[in-house]
Amino acid sequence: MTEVLQSIGGWAWYVIWAGLLLVASLFVYLGLGGNFIVLGLALVHALITGFDPIGWPLLAVLLGLALLGELVEFVLGNFYVLKKGASGWGTFGGFAGGLGGAVVGNSLLPVAGAVLGSFMGAFLGCVAGEFWARQRLEPSLRIGTHAFVGRLLAILFKHAVGLVMVFLVLRATFPTS
């Protein structure tokens, strides 16, 4: 009977652990480094369990994935608009607008406002930069839309990387009994 209860307890903790990792991966949508939170949780697990079953090799892979997510987010979020025909001013406006929009959005609506603000800021900043360079509204709006799409693709990719990280951690910590 005690083995059954221990097995149920082990599975209950695993489900809680899985939920915690999944929630942490969603933090990328809030601009809070969810992939690094997943890495941190894996490191805490490794420290508590004496690096068994999570060891340094898995932690190194998780770090690499988290850095890859950051790199791709930066490249997609900033250079996607260049590929779509943005000027240097439009690209700079999208980058600066995304940062500024996140700050302003967070001050208006904590946490969720940062995400909405970064999307709107990227759009508006890119439109303003393009309008400054071209003095025409229609191409500026088109490039601004591409800045919004680039930001969206970047964050979706980053979350996909986070889900791969969650899978690797859950696979390593899967209860055997």
Instruction: For 110-165, give the DSSP string.
Output: TTHHHHHHHHHHHHHHHHHHHHHHH--HHHHHHHHHHHHHHHHHHHHHHHHHHHHH
The domain in which residue 157 lies consists of: 2-172
Give the confidence band of 151 by pLDDT, cuts at 50, 70, 90. Answer: confident
Q: Domain count for the chain, please give it.
A: 1
Residue 73 has a pLDDT of: 87
Q: Is 1 helix (H, G, I), strand (E, B) or coil?
A: coil
Q: How far apart are the first and last CA of the chain?
A: 14
Q: Is residue 28 part of a domain?
A: yes
Tell me which residue of 138, 139, 135, 125 sits closest to 85, measured CA to CA. 139
Residue 24 has a pLDDT of: 96
Residue 50 is given by DSSP the state T
Q: Is residue 161 part of a domain?
A: yes
Q: Is the pLDDT of residue 177 over 80?
A: no
Identify the residue with better confidence: 31 or 49: 49
Contact 117, 101 (CB under 8 A): yes
Q: Is the pLDDT of residue 86 over 80?
A: yes
> How do residues 67-76 score in pLDDT, each as one tens digit?
999 999 888 8
CA–CA dist 56, 169 (Å, integer): 12
Q: Is residue 177 part of a domain?
A: no
